[in-house]
Amino acid sequence: MWRNWLHGQLDEIEKQGLYRRRKVVEGPQGPEVNAEGRRLVNFCSNDYLGLANHPVVAYAFRQAIGRYGAGAGAAHLVCGHTRAHHALEEELAEFTGRERALLFSTGYMANLGVISALTGRGDEVFEDRLNHASLLDAALLAGARLKRYPHCDSAALKRELDVSGGKRRLIASDGVFSMDGDLAPLPALAASAMQRGALLMIDDAHGLGVIGEGGRGSSALFGLAQDDVPVLVGTLGKAFGTFGAFVAGSADLIEFLIQRARTYVYTTALPPAVAEATRASLRLVREEPWRRDRVSFLVQRFRTGAARIGLQLLESDTPIQPVVVGDNRSAVRASEVLLAAGFLVAAIRPPTVPVGTARLRFTFTARHTEAQVDGLLEALDGLPPEISGRDRLENRSAS
Ligand code: PMP
């Protein structure tokens, strides 16, 4: 029975053009990777600053394995919380301008843990429609009432807050939207939260390290501090180039999460060597602002070139630059044609993005060359219009 059911499900996924196939990458992340038996220019990694294979980060990792071994051995509350984790938490708190920070094993787990610890039955969680899956799943797991507002529509959120009757209210939003690359209207969200006694949580997975003064993320870009954004989530597997995540906020918030966030309490701590490697990458994030300037220069070069060839991009100044194709199969076809031309670009389809907004999601890193960006533009110029998104007049993703 299960066998038939699984076959049926897989057939259905294939029929909808939603089948996902992994590519095996040989060797480290970088602007070029070896995959599918060839060398490909990589335009789909979240390693925005080019730190995932930085020699200083890799060296810190190896050294720390010498000191701490391979694994943490237990959860933080048992005996897995090492000096390496503790030091990284202190440095992340300082970096984000928060009283304290707390490490989680992944961003997905951080979001599940925070929302399910802070809210429950009778509470309301307000979320942007295009929030990352982990924020949406978290509200469902918590058993709170999930209220989704149209993308970046702070006026709609305000109206919803006015008529809400929840015991406690939490507003959760991506800082930089992972599949669109645009920014949440943080000042308006912070003002609404403050006026209506709601708690604001921002997941800045794609903003921290990349935007804002000193790479301090989307809230820093808008000049907001701990009181405006009391719950800040960051991930370490993207701009920081390693793995893991953290929550930053007041001392009380962090103490509460240590007691109550189930994805913190009931899981093994990150390998301490990952924490040490991240301390090294955090130093590079602070000390090498040219990485942010470089990636932003490349993004502008791409956007200018795209306008020249009539390619419609979404409104985004971040390293996430999507081209909405619309149809699932067309997006896959475009990605295959680019692959044949030597470019690795992911076709992003529902349910990751709303139905009818399948897209190519290009991401840029500080280590790309201008020639690689120009080469990508040339390949895009050669795509037939029906799979390039160039025939679409309205290119904004549906909310
Ligand atoms: N939040 C956002 C906005 C993300 O884009 C991602 C990863 N794609 C996550 C959370 C999850 O982070 P992690 O990969 O560390 O689980």
pLDDT (tens place) for every residue of the chain, 399 residues total: 999 999 999 999 999 989 999 999 999 999 999 998 999 999 999 999 999 999 999 999 999 999 999 999 999 999 999 999 999 999 999 999 999 999 999 999 999 999 999 999 999 999 999 999 999 999 999 999 999 999 999 999 999 999 998 789 999 999 999 999 999 999 999 999 999 999 999 999 999 999 999 999 999 999 999 999 999 999 999 999 999 999 999 999 999 999 999 999 999 999 999 999 999 999 999 999 999 999 999 999 999 999 999 999 999 999 999 999 999 999 999 999 999 999 999 999 999 999 999 999 999 999 999 999 999 999 999 998 877 777 654 444 433
Provide CATH code, domain 25-49+289-388. 3.90.1150.10
* Ligand 1: residue whose CA is nearest its atom 9: 107
- Positions marked active-site: 178, 206, 238
Nearest atom (ligand 1) to Cα of 175: 3
Q: Whose CA is nearest to atom 10 of ligand 1?
A: 107
For a substitution probing ligand 1, which of 103, 108, 183 has the most ligand atoms within 8 Å of its CB? Answer: 108
Here the ipTM equals 0.99
Q: Minimal CA–CA distance to 373: which of 291, 313, 316, 297?
A: 297
Cα(230)–Cα(248) distance, rounded to whole angstroms?
8
pLDDT the model gives residue 369: 98
Strand ranges (DSSP E) for the chain?
Answer: 25-26, 32-35, 38-42, 100-104, 124-128, 145-149, 169-174, 199-203, 231-235, 245-249, 320-326, 343-344, 346-348, 358-363
**Closest ligand 1 atom number to CA of residue 174:** 3
Cα–ligand 1 centroid distance for 310 (angstroms): 31
| CA 77, 207, 290, 28 torsion-angle sign | positive
Ligand 1, closest atom to CA 111? 10
Q: How far is the CA of 204 from the centre of ligand 1 (A)?
A: 9
Question: Measured from the CA of 236, which atom of ligand 1 is nearest?
Answer: 15
The binding site for pyridoxal 5'-phosphate consists of 107-108, 178, 206, 235
Please give the structure tokens belonging to residue 257.
Answer: 């999460």
Q: Taking every pair of C-alpha atoms in the chain, what is the biggest distance, in angstroms?
A: 58
Per-residue tokens: 121:
């039955």
> Ligand 1 center to residue 283 CA distance, Å?
22
Ligand 1 centre to CA of 318 (Å) is 16
Measured distance CA(226)–CA(302) in Å, rounded: 34
Pocket-forming residues, ligand 1, beta carbon under 6 Å: 106-108, 111, 132, 134, 174, 178, 203, 205-206, 235, 237, 245
Q: Which residue puts its alpha carbon closest to atom 8 of ligand 1?
A: 178
What is the rounded CA–CA span in Å between residue 146 and residue 351? 18
What confidence score (pLDDT) does residue 396 get? 40
Cα–ligand 1 centroid distance for 271 (angstroms)? 19
Report the alpha-carbon distance of residue 295 to residue 102 in Å, rounded.
Answer: 29
* Whole-structure pTM value: 0.95
Place of tokens 């094993």: 105
In 143-177, alpha helices (H): 154-162
Mutate to test the pocket of ligand 1, among 105, 109, 111, 134 (most ligand atoms within 8 A of CB): 134
Q: Which of 202, 203, 235 to mutate to test the pocket of ligand 1 (most atoms within 8 A of CB)?
A: 235
* C-alpha distances out from residue 302 to 198, 371, 375, Å: 39, 11, 10
Atom of ligand 1 nearest to the CA of 108: 16
Q: Compute φ and ψ for 228, nearest 5 degrees.
A: -80, -40
Helix (H) or strand (E) holding 94: helix 83-96
- Domain ranges in the chain are 25-49+289-388, 55-287
What's the confidence (pLDDT) of residue 165? 84
CA angle 28, 203, 164 (to 5 degrees): 155
- The alpha carbon of 162 and the centre of ligand 1 are apart by a number of angstroms equal to 30
Q: What is the pLDDT of residue 166?
A: 75
Rounded-to-integer distance, Cα 177 and Cα 138, Å = 17
Dist. CA 211–CA 257, nearest whole Å: 27
- In sequence order, which ranges of 227-369 are alpha helices (DSSP H)? 251-260, 262-265, 272-287, 290-308, 328-340
C-alpha span between 35 and 48 (Å, rounded) = 20
Task: Please determine, looking at this structure, whether the domain spanning 55-287 carries the CATH number 3.40.640.10.
Answer: yes
pLDDT for the residue numbered 209 = 98
Residue 109: which of 117, 120, 101 has the closest Cα? 117
Cα–Cα distances (Å) from 7 to 15, 253, 318, 364, in that order, read: 12, 46, 40, 37
Nearest CA to ligand 1 atom 5: 178
